[in-house]
Chains A and B, each alone.
Chain A
Amino acid sequence: MCGIAGIIHKGKSSNVGGEMTAMLQALKHRGPDSTGYAVYRENAEDYVMRVKIAEAEDMDRGRGIHAVLEERMAKVDEILAEHGANVKQKERVRPYALRYVLTHDGNTGEMAEHIEEVDDVEILSLGNGLELIKDLGDASVVAEAYGLDDFQGTHGIGHTRMATESDVDIKSAHPYWAFPYNDVSVVHNGQITNYWIMRREMERKGHRFMSNCDSELLAVYTAHNLANGVPLEESLRRSIEEIDGVFTYLVCTKDQLGMAKDTMAAKPLVLYESDDLIAMASEEVAIRAILPHEIDTTDPYDEEVRVWQA
């Protein structure tokens, strides 16, 4: 049981960070282990790259971890320079979480792969609009640590996790970036039962998996489809046939938000649609956290696929 939430404003920016925090805080009872955000600002020229250079629990281990992190950071900087990336801004949000603002002309996928060759370094997100933040703790803790409460953007998805299939750590937390596909992220509530079959298939096609969390498969699967020119809606539709298990998942691209529900409709989602705002969450309380007035909401049915444009 996890909590998922999504929000998309049509044609305008809003305080998506604050709205997502309110929604995820309302879903805390569905998953207190970790909280994650994938929020999108209106498209900028520069790339934003979020990198994790260690797990949160590694910080308590001592044994010169701080020196090791300095070393890893230096290596990341070196690789960025090697690929001709011009780092405009670098921020160490937490001891293990970095945020880069950079410009780059070449192939970002190759650069991302190179960076991840550094031990224990994982790129959480890379894109023009996307900022992907995930950490242990509830929404208020994560939002405060990463300064998300006044984030302005057009759309976003979020996740509160109750770990059932893998560890409680940042690498198994949602959302997942659809590596190396810029600006694509996924959150998921459910269990995927043909995970290993699909994972091996994806691995044979050359995709990388960073964790043992079944939800990562959806991100890799989506990335694979998008890379092959499949539109988002078609990818969501195909996933219902190709992926077994019970799931409801949300996918964001730089200007779209999509949802898909499995054939049994076993995982909940409540949907609110208006002309300028679409909000969805595992439970109605989350939508009510940002829209306290009386509204009409619906439950999407089994095998339902929807895509909204920002």
Chain B
Amino acid sequence: MASVTDAELKGMTQEDRVKALGMTTDQLTGRSMYIEFDPDATERFAYPWAPDVDFNKRTELDCDGMTATEVNANIRSLMEDGFGTIVIKNPRGMHSLGVGILNKLNLIIEGSTGYFAVGLIDGPNVRINGRVGWSCGENMMSGTVMIEKNAGSTFGAAIRGGDLVCRGSVGSRTGIDQKGGTIIVGGDTGALSGFMMQRGRMVVCGNAGKNLGDSMYDGTIFVGGEIKSLGVDAVEAELTELDQAWLTRKLTQFGLMPDKGVAHFTKIAAGKQLWNYDNLEPNEKKLIL
């Protein structure tokens, strides 16, 4: 402040003077007003280093005789070469297949995978014709993953975004620590699904095991079948027309729409009885005081 002299202030317009003195006329806006990106922008939204791939360029990759690291390195180098459709053959239960793909890509895995399949991905569209082991799609950021058969436990652990779909049944702790995105299960899910869920939506067309939504902070779970028991602070909520419209759209999109519609779904949300922290951010608090 001391850097502004009276002489300088005299030469300024009213607006500049106010700013120079540390006062501002800017309007205060909440976080919700913050524009994260411009929907009309035309530049690429991919990572700066992401290779430009062509979906029409297709290739196959045989996993036999390769380690998971080699397969993943191969996927990367194929993307560098511009291949936009990669078919993985003979995975035979291999772990960690297709992890960390931060690019648009059509990935087709013909067979079953082990643990951590397509974890940490941001962007690709994945179709897996077989079954997946534990922690499929964990920490996924965006994209779609379609699994034709069953999945293991911790399906979509800590998922942030995108659509993770399993046509069959999944194991326990589905969507543990889910922070966004959508998990859709065509069959049943095991115990402790949606444990500590924070945001996002989970749809289970079949039955759910015990302690569904235990200690969930927020987010929504829809269950089409029976729920063995609800976890701590998970409560049944009203299924609104908006929910039904969303369910119809989402399930139709993946060909999982039940014949009897979506009106029978049970909606589970957080009871917020465990919310012992302040509802306001520190800067929001200042505004109210």
Q: Convert A269-296 into 0s and 1s, putting 1 for each residue whose CB lies closer than 8 angstroms to a CB of B.
A: 0100000000000011111100010101
- B130 is an interface residue with CB less than 8 A from chain A: yes
User: Could you give, for residues 94-119 of chain B, a 1 whenever the CB lies within 8 Å of some chain A CB and a 0 otherwise?
Assistant: 11000000000000000111110000
Q: Are A302 and B209 in contact (CB under 8 A)?
A: yes
Query: Across the two chains, which residue of chain A brings its CB closest to B90?
Result: A292
Check A270–B149 contact: CB distance below 8 A.
Answer: no
B152 at the interface (CB under 8 A from A): yes
Chain B positions within 8 Å of A265 at CB level = 153, 171-173, 190-191
Bound together, the chains give a CA A302 to CA B193 distance in angstroms of 12
Chain B count of residues within 8 A CB distance of the other chain: 29
- Asked if B271 is at the interface of the complex by the 8 Å CB criterion, the answer is no
Tell me if A301 and B172 are in contact (CB < 8 A).
yes
Residues of B within 8 A of A264 (CB): 172, 191-192
- Measured in the bound complex, the distance between the Cα atoms of B112 and A292 in whole Å is 10
Quote the shortest CB–CB distance from A240 to chain B (angstroms): 13
* Binary A-proximity of B122-139 (CB < 8 A = 1, otherwise 0): 000000011101100000
Contacts of B111 in A (CB 8 A): 294
B114 contacts across to A, CB distance below 8 A = 283-285
**Contact of A301 with B191 in the complex, beta carbons under 8 Å:** yes
Contacts of B93 in A (CB 8 A): 283-288
Q: B153 to A299, Cβ gap below 8 A? A: yes
Q: How far is the CA of A118 from the CA of B250 in the complex (A)?
A: 70
Whether B190 contacts A285 by the Cβ 8 Å rule is no
Residues of chain B with a CB closer than 8 A to A263's CB: 191
Contacts of A285 in B (CB 8 A): 92-95, 114
Set A292, A294, A302: member contacting B190, Cβ < 8 A? A302
Kindly state the separation between the CA atoms of A287 and B131 in the bound complex, as whole angstroms.
13
CB proximity of B228 to chain A, nearest CB, Å: 10
- Decide if B150 is an interface residue (CB 8 Å cutoff): yes
Instruction: Kindly state whether residue B17 has any CB partner on chain A within 8 Å.
Output: no
Complex Cα–Cα for A298 and B166 (A): 13
A297 lies within 8 A of chain B by Cβ: yes
Say yes or no: A292 contacts B92, CB within 8 Å.
yes
* A301 lies within 8 A of B94 (CB): no
Indicate whether A284 sits within 8 Å of B133 (C-beta atoms), given known contacts A265-B172, A297-B112, A299-B152. yes
Q: Which residues of A contact B172 (CB under 8 A)?
A: 264-265, 299, 301-302
A268 near B: Cβ within 8 Å? yes
Which A residues, 224 to 278, have Cβ-Cβ distances below 8 Å to chain B? Answer: 263-265, 268, 270
Question: Is B210 an interface position by the 8 A CB rule?
Answer: yes
What is the CA–CA distance of A288 and B152 in the complex, to the nearest angstrom? 16
Tell me the complex Cα distance, A298–B93, Å.
13
List chain A residues, Cβ under 8 A from B85.
none
> Which residue in chain B gives the minimum CB-CB distance to A272?
B131
Nearest chain A CB to B190 CB, angstrom units? 5
Chain B residues positioned under 8 Å from A294 (CB to CB) = 111-112, 129-130
Closest to A299 in B: B171
Chain B residues within 8 Å of A268, by CB: 133-134, 152-153
* Nearest CB on A from B98, distance (A): 16
Docked pose: A296 CA to B151 CA in angstroms: 11
Interfacial chain A residues near B92, Cβ < 8 Å? 285, 288, 292
Q: How far is the CB of A23 from chain B (nearest CB, A)?
A: 11
Interface status of B169 (Cβ within 8 A of chain A): yes
Contact of A297 among B115, B150, B190, B191 (CB under 8 A): B150
Q: What is the minimal beta-carbon distance from A190 to any residue of chain B, in angstroms?
A: 14
* Nearest B residue (CB) for A295: B112
A302 and B211 CA atoms in complex are apart in Å by 12
A-B pairs, 7 with minimum CB distance: A284-B93, A299-B171, A285-B93, A265-B172, A288-B92, A288-B93, A302-B191
CB<8 Å pairs between A and B, sample of 6? A285-B95, A288-B112, A297-B112, A299-B151, A299-B170, A301-B172
Which A residues fall within an 8 A CB radius of B? 263-265, 268, 270, 283-288, 292, 294, 296-299, 301-302
14 additional A-B pairs beyond A265-B173, A288-B93, beta carbons within 8 Å, are: A265-B190, A268-B152, A268-B153, A283-B93, A283-B114, A283-B133, A284-B112, A284-B114, A284-B131, A285-B95, A301-B172, A301-B209, A302-B190, A302-B191
Which B residues fall within an 8 A CB radius of A?
92-95, 111-115, 129-131, 133-134, 149-153, 169-173, 190-192, 209-210
